[in-house]
Every structure is written in structure tokens, then in C-alpha cells.
Amino acid sequence: MSAITTEQVESRVIETLASFGPDVSQINRDATFEELDIDSLDLVELAQVVEDDYGVILKGEDMKELKTVGQAIDLIVSRAE
Amino acid sequence: MPEPSTRPEGCALVTGASRGIGAAIAKSLARDGWPVAVNYRSDGDGAAAVVAEIEQAGGRAVPLAADVADPGAADELFVGAEAHFGVPVLGLVNNAGISADNLISMLGEEEWQSVLATNLTGAFRLTRRALKPMMRARFGRIVNISSVVGLRANPGQANYAAAKAGLIAMTKTVTVEVARRGITANAVAPGWIDTDMTAGLESGLTANIPARRAGTPEEVAACVSFLASDAAGYVNGAVLTVDGGLAA
């Protein structure tokens, strides 16, 4: 399997988060989940997408630490390596 | 604001469906148009008979063997059902249950653990697994078969009662976590129903039931069919007793 790039993960995460309601223009690396009105259940769904697409398993403890979109992207990329 | 949801293409999984209440539920859901995965642990002939009856009536069903107390069972069952029907599992009925009655002073570790493992932990694992396709579909129906014993004590059933009361508490928690995704979770609490499980009980017990009779598996299945229907989309976290008034 070829290596996953940060750009690929970023676009998939943004696309998934946008499906939960926030406008895609609001979603950037520095945006917090709180600002975007992304709740814990949305993050569970994001974790499922990440698991299905990249085989990266994110646990509840991982998700609790995440505050910004950038942190989520970096965590997924680091786990996928 | 979320809209009331109608069922997309999906199938139902009923655990412990080779006989008794589970078999009646599988047949009832099939009549409602659900393709039904008929789970069984050991009674392959019973499951095959349930599937045959559903197919003769024009429905779709598949028997799937697994012991829900086994940690790998949830994945096996979901993968099996979705591979067979080609649609996600959007209806889950946690019905599989065992009993091992004894006064609590005499209740063994194994009797405690095995009843909790099948009746509660098995339902937890299946529910956890079910939420994946259900959240994605923005639709799901989870019905947990509890018992009136989870609401009103019966001597000799501390393990069974703890598991069945636990199911009610889990049901309500699932509701508050995922209701906004179009998923409902409800419990049905049967009283004394005529099945193999209650066959050994003395018939004099009916004197304590306001209806003065035992219930039928079909009467429980009718409640499950309603809770699994589109019409029940706003019924969430409820406990529906089907007990001839026993818990009233």
C-alpha cells in the first residue's frame, strides 16, 4: 500500500466534517471542534471513516485529546505511518 | 433539525431466533418486509425451520450460527448478514438469553457470569457494532428483549434480573447518545410467556397475573415489530411491558 499523504488525510477529514453541518469554508487546521459545533458523536463517526479508509484505529482516549482539526489530521497521519 | 426518518434499504438481525420469542420476532419482522438474519447458537434445525417458514411466506431470511457470549460473534454476525443480503444491518433485536436460576446464597460464579455474558455483554457488543452502519445510514432500530424480572423482583433470578435491568439501563443510554442520528433503542419486557424456557414452571403462577394467562411469543413479537417500524420513530428509550399486567 502506498504511503498516505497529509494532503489526502486533510481533504478526507474536511469532507467528512463538512457532512456533519459546518460550512466547508469554516473548516481549517486551526478551527476547533467546539467552534465548528462538532460533537463527540461526530468524532466517533470521523473515527469510523478513518478506520475504514486508512485502517487507523482511534480510541476514545485519543479522541478526547483532540481540540482542533489540525490535531486530528496530524494524529491520523502519524498513526498511518 | 433532524427530520423523522424512514427506513432505507437494510436488514434485521435477531439473536437467539431458532425458537420461542426470537423465532416469532424473526417471522414478524420478515412479514414487515425486513430481510432477517436468524441467529442461533446450537439449534440449527430450529433456525432452518424458521428460515423455511419465512421463505414460504415470501420473505427473505438466512440462518447464522454464533454464540453471542463469544467476543467475536458481533463482527461475524454483521459481516455474515450484510454479505448475504447486500445491505447494512439497520435493525437489531437482542433477544438471545439464558437463565440459570438459584437463590442468591446458592448462586454459583459460573451461573452469574454465563447469564451476564450472554444476556448483557453479548447485547452490548452487538449494539456497539450495530451503531456503525446505523449512524452512517442515519437510521436504526435497536430492540432489547429485557424482562419484567428486570423491573420487579422474582426470587431465584438475581443473575437474570441484573442482566435484564442492565439491558434497560443500556437501552436508555444508547438512546441519549444516538437518537439525533435517527436511531431508536427500546426495551421490551415480557412477563410469563409460553416458551421452552418457561415450560418447567408451575402453571399455578398464572394466578398472580392480572390477565390470568401466560402470553404468547407472537404477542411479544408484535411489540417488537411496532418498535422496529417507521411509525415508532419518536418512541425512544422506552420500556414496553408485555406481561398481562404483572408489573402494573
Q: Is A53 in CB contact (< 8 Å) with chain B?
A: no
Please tell me the predicted confidence (pLDDT) of residue B155: 94
C-alpha to C-alpha distance for A36 and A68, rounded to whole angstroms: 10
Please tell me the predicted confidence (pLDDT) of residue B202: 63
**The C-alpha cell that represents B114 in the structure block:** 454465563
C-alpha to C-alpha distance for B246 and B212, rounded to whole angstroms: 10
Residue A1, in any domain of the structure: no
Q: Is-catalytic flag, A30?
A: no
Distance from the first to the final alpha carbon of chain A: 11
Write the pLDDT tens digit of every residue in A20-33: 999 999 999 999 99
Q: Which fold has domain B11-242?
A: Rossmann fold (3.40.50)
Dihedrals phi, psi of A56, to nearest 5 degrees: -95, 120
Taking the domains of chain B in order of start, what are their residue ranges? Answer: 11-242
For residues A57-66, average pLDDT: 89
pLDDT, averaged in runs of 10, over chain B (248 residues): 81 98 98 98 98 98 98 98 98 97 96 98 98 95 98 95 98 97 97 83 79 96 98 98 95
ipTM of this complex prediction, to 2 decimal places: 0.81
State chain A's mean pLDDT as an integer: 91
Q: CATH code at A21?
A: 1.10.1200.10
Chain B interface, Cβ < 8 Å to A:
132, 135-136, 177-178, 180-181
Give the chain A residue whose CA is nearest to the CA of B131.
Answer: A45
- Strand order, beta sheet including B61-65: B61-65, B36-40, B11-14, B89-94, B140-145, B183-190, B239-242
Using a pLDDT cut of 70, give the percent of chain A over it: 98
Please tell me the predicted confidence (pLDDT) of residue A2: 58
Residue A68, in any domain of the structure: yes
In B, which residues are within 8 Å of A44 by CB distance?
135
Neighbours of A5 (CB within 10 A): 11
Q: Which domain holds residue A11?
A: 6-80
Q: Where are the alpha helices (DSSP H) in chain B?
A: 20-31, 44-56, 73-85, 109-116, 122-137, 158-178, 217-228
Neighbours of A57 (CB within 10 A): 10
Number of domains, chain A: 1
Helix, strand, coil fractions of chain B, as percent rounded to 5: 50, 15, 35
Q: Is A44 in CB contact (< 8 Å) with chain B?
A: yes
pLDDT of residue A1 exceeding 60 = no
**The C-alpha cell that represents B76 in the structure block:** 461475524
Tally: H helices and E strands in chain B:
7, 7
